[in-house]
Amino acid sequence: MTVRLGPWSVRLAPRALLVCAALALAGCTVAVAAVATGEYTLPVRDVLAALTGDGTPAADLVVSRLRAPRVVTGLLVGAAFGVSGAIFQSLTRNPLGSPDFIGFTAGASTGGILAVVAGGSAMTIAGGALAGCVTTAALVYALAFRGGVAGHRLVLVGIGVNALLLAVNSYLLTRANINDAATAGAWLTGSLSGRGWDHAVPVAVALAVLLPVAAVAARPLRMIEMGDDAARAAGVRVEAVRAAAVAAGVLLSGTATAAAGPVVFVALAAPQVARRLTRSPGVTLGASALVGAVLLTGADLAAQRLLAPTQLPVGVLTAGIGGAYLALLLRKERH
């Protein structure tokens, strides 16, 4: 379906729009449930009143200061991971081409561990994670560049760098003192516990800046999926588009990791689920963002409430879900 807006025309897929609307509704439902439930349960009407500024002082405290920042951070981090995974899976033309597998998450972990060992604050750890992710991406891109960056070469180089960085991370943990090792280990699990507005704002800014970049690159990326030669014949500046997409994906992944730690498998699963729901062969940025947001926030809600009285870090639950999903994906690819 094509909609004309003056001199411009926009192609819309009705199924994709319906899926995105359903995912947005699911995200709102999960968010309200996460804010309303807990040791101090609130009726939904009190939650909505607090969000609009008409709630009681107790409801305002619980909603605005304690629970809403965590939920909003989860939604934004999940969306950032989902978009980052969609970008890299399109670039590599491989469902395993996510930041978890090509070294970027491991690089962010290395930066975070170094910041912990250096005695840094929470903001320093976040900065170290972002710097580690960007540095690793630059290294992988440079090693994979041979007159261009082929998707399979990016994945292979990334897997090798990922293995090396995992070894470095293990070495750093064994050499750190017991307190630093415990702090780093807790951060490496990935968690939304204690997250406030100061964690949510940087991710929101990154999404506001980088989503338009990714959206502009989406159509050329679809052309690049058919091969560099075919894309160049269609007038696509392949390396410029690829570099811009890599930069957007890396910064989204790094910012999300800085906010919540290296939460694994969201970037892997969200784009694949989005493609299957929308039945779209292209780069499903919007659907991937919404799936990532729902997946991460829902996993955090389950880790807090469904497994009570034990509260697990969200990274533990996403790792379990993602491991099962990866096994199914590999089995399907084998057949």
pLDDT bracket for residue 30 (50, 70, 90) = very high
CB 133 within 8 A of CB 105: yes
- Tell me the CATH number for domain 73-334: 1.10.3470.10
- Neighbouring CB atoms inside 10 A of 54's CB total 11
Using DSSP, how many helices (H) and how many strands (E) does the chain show?
14, 2
Mean pLDDT score, 191-211: 91
Collapsing DSSP to helix, strand or coil, 8 comes out as strand
> Which of 98-102, 147-151, 171-175, 240-244 is least confident?
147-151
Question: What is the pLDDT at residue 330?
Answer: 67
Q: Between helices 122-144 and 238-260, what is the axis angle to 10°?
A: 150
3-state secondary structure string, 99-149?
Answer: CCCCCHHHHHHHHHHHHHHCCCCHHHHHHHHHHHHHHHHHHHHHHHCCCCC
Place of tokens 């809600």: 301
- Band (pLDDT 50/70/90 cuts) for residue 164 is very high
Confidence (pTM): 0.88
Q: What is the pLDDT of residue 102?
A: 86
Model confidence band, residue 78 (pLDDT cutoffs 50, 70, 90): very high
Does the structure show a pLDDT above 60 at 303?
A: yes
Where does the pLDDT of residue 316 fall: very low under 50, low under 70, confident under 90, or very high at 90 and above? confident
Rounded CA separation 254/273 (Å): 22
Do the beta carbons of residue 58 and residue 275 sit within 8 Å? Answer: no
Q: How far apart are CA 254 and CA 99, in angstroms?
A: 9
Higher pLDDT, 91 or 73: 73
* Cα separation, 35 vs 50, whole angstroms: 11
* Percentage with pLDDT > 70 across the chain: 92
Quick check: helix, strand or coil at residue 271? Answer: helix
